[in-house]
Amino acid sequence: MTSYADTGFLCSIYAPDVHTPAAVALMRHLPLPLPVTWLHQLEFRNAMRLRVFRKEITPAQREASINAMLTDMAAGILTHVRPAIDDLTFEAERLSAMHSEVLGTRSLDILHVAGALTLGLSSFLTFDQRQRALAKATGLRTEAIVT
């Protein structure tokens, strides 16, 4: 396990959007498994529910996306990890103090980058420009297209 995917990257894998082709292509070359935390699970499910609210997908498509992710967890493509909460919150606060005023990073973006660092991973997968800038500022290699 060397890469950390933010929730947006995972959404592109499990619920087709404009980034899906790039995400799928990158997944073919990644060392697996990818870690999944409590934050991924909450954000992913909520993102799917918001897509239903926006009428972008149906409830059946939401369930299919969630089930596809769970199937990949069972198959070992994704693995559930639990970074130590004290280490995670300390790292998140440190990143916020060092970078938020310059990069405009949001709390959830900071938590994902802190998660990657706390888990000792070397690369970060995202399509989000600010999150990518934060990951790069911490020394993580970034591997997804910025839009």
CATH code at position 14: 3.40.50.1010
CA distances from 90 to 13, 27, 97 (A): 30, 30, 11
- The total number of structural domains in the chain stands at 1
Residue 137's domain comprises 3-142
36 is a domain residue: yes
Distance CA 59, CA 38 (A): 22
Task: Give pLDDT, residue 1.
Answer: 72
Termini Cα distance of the chain? 26
Task: Give pLDDT, residue 144.
Answer: 59
Q: Parallel, antiparallel, or unpaired for β 123-125 and 34-36?
A: unpaired
Task: Give pLDDT, residue 143.
Answer: 76
pLDDT values of the chain reduced to their tens digit, one per residue, 147 residues:
799 999 999 999 999 999 999 999 999 999 999 999 999 999 999 999 999 999 999 999 999 999 999 999 999 999 999 999 999 999 999 999 999 999 999 999 999 999 999 999 999 999 999 999 999 999 999 975 655
Task: Give pLDDT, residue 145.
Answer: 65
109 is a domain residue: yes
Q: pTM for this structure?
A: 0.93
Name the residue among 134, 93, 41 with its Cα closest to residue 124. 134
147 is a domain residue: no
